[in-house]
Amino acid sequence: MQIVFLDASTLHSGDLDLSVLESLGTLTCHSVSSESEIPKRIAKADIVITNKALMTAKNIAAAPKLKLIVSCATGVNQIDLNAARAAHIIVSNVAGYSTPSVAQHVFTFILNFATQIPQFNKESRAWPQFPIFTSLAHPCFDVAGKTLGIIGLGEIGSATAKLALAFGMNVQVLARLDSKAILMPELRRIPAGEFYSSSDFISLHCPLTPSTQGLINKQTLGQMKSTAYLINTGRGPLINEADLAEALNAGTIAGAGLDVLSSEPPASDNPLILSNHPQLMITPHTAWSTLEARQRLLAGVAENIDSFIDGSPTNRLT
């Protein structure tokens, strides 16, 4: 089997052992692949692995031997599923590998806001000049007793909720008509008005759909407490970024922790990238990327290929 990994640098930077993939066929890894490079690179491929590299209908047609496309991720928006289905190509993905990592990232945001560690760290070298033994320049607070509002109670939302409960927080869930959440039925599902106005933190974990795009906007931000924080480790377009930047500057909410933006990498004129708000923390889509999560992802990719070769493909979407 000729296996082509179109964007291997999205999985590892030399810190993972890819021998598990090499044992399944002849592996060719490309660090990244532009769309113009893809047709030539997959022309003789039996199996393609992609994280972000586009497998469009045109690119699929350029690979007459192609039998399997493995998304090195949970999402498959980089793959034209209809074209793959029409060409009788199996598409598979890997789910669940990043759940503890993303939940951990959410809580890193929460604890940094509560303790103000980023702000104190910036000033730590000036400590010898402090007039007292400590600093009260950036007020801190306990997370115990605060309310975490979760939008989207799937696997990651539930893992985040469990961490919050362990820290003594109250947890509530936004009641949405199209929600399919069945996990943790003991948590309160409350309507939007009460949800936004009573949450001290709001964490986004819902899928991106036409009904959730721009869910966080001027109206919903205006319903939040001025002391509340917004956290997004889900999908960037869940937030109207111009509205969030305006809300931060106006003091409508206290701060935001973002691991995703509407386009990635973001445009240099993105209003959130341009913001110097002291309570805005942005990480470059790293919540999923712990070593352990990437090891689980690699194992999932290998399992999908191995099961395909054995004639009983798993995690198939087409």
Please identify every residue annotated as catalytic: 235, 264, 285
CA distance 288 to 104: 10
Q: What is the distance between the alpha carbons of residues 124 and 262, in angstroms, rounded to a whole number?
A: 34
Query: Distance (Å, rounded) from C-alpha 68 to C-alpha 202?
Result: 39
| Residue 268: its H or E element | none
Enumerate long-range contacts of 143-147, CB under 8 Å, 24 or more apart. 143/110, 143/111, 143/114, 143/167, 143/168, 143/169, 144/168, 144/169, 145/169, 145/170, 146/170, 146/200, 146/201, 147/171, 147/172, 147/198, 147/199, 147/200, 147/201
Residue 218 · residue 240 · CB < 8 Å: yes
- Which uninterrupted H or E stretch holds 282? strand 280-282
Residue 1: strand, helix, or coil: coil
Q: Which residues lie closer than 8 Å to 45 by C-beta, 6 or more apart?
A: 2, 3, 4, 63, 65, 66
CA gap 37, 15 in Å, rounded: 26
Distance CA 102, CA 109 (A): 11
- In sequence order, what are the beta bridge partners of 3? 27, 47
Q: Measured between alpha carbons, how far is 80 from 104 in angstroms, rounded to an integer?
A: 32
* Nearest partner of 72 among 96, 101, 93, 90, judged by Cα: 93
Q: What is the DSSP letter of 309?
A: H
Say how far apart CA 1 and CA 45 lie, in whole Å. 8
